[in-house]
Amino acid sequence: MIDHMDDVKRAAETPTAMALLGVLAFGAEVSGYDLRQWTRRTVGHWYTTPAHSQVYRELRSLEAAGYTTSRDVPQMGKPDKVLYSITDAGREALGVWSAKHPPKPLALKHHTMLRLFLAHDTDPAVLRGFLEDHREQTLAALEDLENESATLGADRSQRRQAAVAEWAAEIHRGDLAGTELALKMLDEGD
């Protein structure tokens, strides 16, 4: 007979749920909104930032599995805030999940590359605009990552996190080089 709790735990062990759990493992008790913002500023540079609705769905799933706890905090003139924290079972599940899932090859979900690839009849000026916008967004992300890497690198206890921030920054530097290449090809008439 299959244990219902095993199903609940498996449902809570999606990569997105584990990303949220991993951010909670830094020790802060946070709301779903703050967790999404924190995830966007950190994990979001090298992994998908979940939508607000997905954050709350995953948090409910993590709590049902016993990996997080929550508590309501009354607020004046606003709905109560719910704060989440990781449990010992959540820390254990995160460690097991990290160790048991073999790495997968990098899979890009790059909207600008997709648009450029499929832009059979798109005006080159429009494509240039997409690429220039992408370059600006990538430069901003790269600046965030470089700042994150420098901040984390100053704290020896966060060396792994600093290494990941620098790794992500290097990927963004490569993306900038690719963007410049695509712009050059547009200038040369494809």
Q: Does the 4-100 domain belong in CATH 1.10.10.10?
A: yes
Query: Domains of the chain: which residue ranges?
Result: 4-100, 111-187
> Residue 1: its pLDDT value, please?
42
Q: Is the pTM of this model over 0.85?
A: no
Question: Which sign does the torsion angle of CA 82, 85, 87, 90 carry?
Answer: positive
The amino acid occupying position 170 is E
pLDDT digits (tens, 9 = 90+) for 128-154: 999 999 999 999 989 988 888 777 767
Contact 56, 62 (CB under 8 A): no
Give the pLDDT means over successive 10-residue stretches in the chain (190 positions).
60 80 87 88 77 89 92 91 94 87 77 88 91 94 85 75 87 94 87
Contact 26, 152 (CB under 8 A): no
